[in-house]
């Protein structure tokens, strides 16, 4: 049942579903999985320079306002603090094409909306992504190497250094990096310092 049948405000309706416990059963089941997890992995192929629409749609339905964020519950005050999250993705082309000077651009910049805009926003600690570059043309030996590398990443997940996300105290009341703070994330820059990230 809608809270306001005359005017659609998605955030208001999501909070209403949370308050009244009226999420659709499939959404509620997925939310229960998120609540139970200590490590959330998004596994997907890079598709049009992002994650596929079906996964984005899942995010939009499942990590809804009220349940997963809202009322200032984001980033350092996120709902899922103390948990980790990681992208595991495949690409259609080589690592060179996704290098910082590659024709497709730095893949870490492409993944920033997931790592910061979903994982960190919700309070998860984002881990460096596992990227399998161009597995389709790989031979069996190369595919085995990729699978072995992924298995090793999972075995060492507890000691994997997380991605750098600036703490709240690096930002001013305008939510911009303070003029004295050098941007050190893989995507941000701070024009007020005259410096840009090293990578």
Cα distance between residue 17 and residue 193, in whole Å = 44
Distance (Å, rounded) from C-alpha 95 to C-alpha 132? 9
Q: For residue 41, give both structure tokens.
A: 């992995």
79 pLDDT band, cuts 50/70/90, is: very high
Average pLDDT value over all residues in the chain = 93
Q: Given a cut of 80, is residue 98 above it in pLDDT? A: yes
C-alpha 48 chain-centroid distance: 17
> Does 195 or 100 have the greater pLDDT score?
100
Q: At residue 71, does pLDDT exceed 50?
A: yes
d(CA 91, CA 45): 6
In sign, the C-alpha dihedral spanning 41, 42, 46, 50 is negative
pLDDT reading at 166 higher than 90? yes
pLDDT band at 199 (very low <50, low <70, confident <90, very high): very low
Which neighbouring-strand residues pair with 132? 90
pLDDT exceeds 80 at position 198? no
- Whether the per-residue pLDDT at 51 is higher than 90: the answer is yes
- Is 42's pLDDT higher than 80? yes
Secondary structure of the chain as H, E, C letters: CCCCCCCCCHHHHHHHHHHHCCCCHHHHHHHHHHHHCCEEEEEEECECCECCHHHHHHHHHHCCECCCEECCECHHHCCCCCCEEEEEEECCCCHHHHCCCCCCCCHHHHCHHHHHHHHHCCCCEECCCEEECCCCCCCHHHHHHHHHHHHHHHHCHHHCCCCCCCCHHHECCCCCECCCCCCCCCCCCECCCCECCCC
What whole-number distance in Å separates Cα of residue 119 and Cα of residue 87?
10
Set out the domains of the chain in order of their start, with CATH numbers: 36-163 (3.40.50.360), 166-199 (no CATH)
Confidence bin at 196 (pLDDT 50/70/90): low
Among residues of the chain, what percentage have pLDDT more than 70?
97
Give the best-scoring range by mean pLDDT among 9-13, 15-19, 105-109, 149-153: 149-153
**CA-CA-CA-CA torsion sign (46, 95, 187, 125):** positive
Residue 62 near residue 28 (C-beta atoms within 8 A)? no
């Amino acid at each position: 049942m809608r809270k306001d049948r005359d005017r659609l405000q998605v955030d208001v309706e999501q909070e209403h579903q949370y308050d009244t416990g009226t999420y659709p059963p499939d959404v509620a089941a997925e939310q229960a999985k998120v609540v139970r997890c200590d490590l959330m992995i998004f596994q997907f192929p890079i598709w049009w320079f992002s994650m596929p629409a079906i996964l984005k749609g899942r995010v939009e339905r499942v990590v809804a306002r009220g349940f997963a964020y809202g009322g200032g519950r984001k980033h350092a005050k996120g709902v899922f603090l103390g948990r980790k999250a990681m992208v595991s993705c495949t690409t259609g082309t080589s690592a060179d094409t996704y290098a910082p000077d590659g024709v497709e651009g730095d893949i870490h910049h492409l993944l920033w909306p997931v790592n910061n805009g979903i994982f960190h926003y919700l309070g998860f600690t984002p881990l460096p992504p596992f990227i399998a570059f161009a597995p389709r043309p790989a031979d069996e030996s190369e595919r085995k190497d990729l699978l072995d590398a992924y298995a090793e990443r999972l075995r060492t997940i507890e000691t994997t250094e997380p991605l750098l996300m600036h703490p709240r105290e690096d930002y001013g009341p305008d939510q911009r990096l303070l003029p004295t703070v050098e941007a050190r994330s893989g995507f941000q820059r701070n024009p007020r310092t005259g410096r840009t990230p090293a990578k």
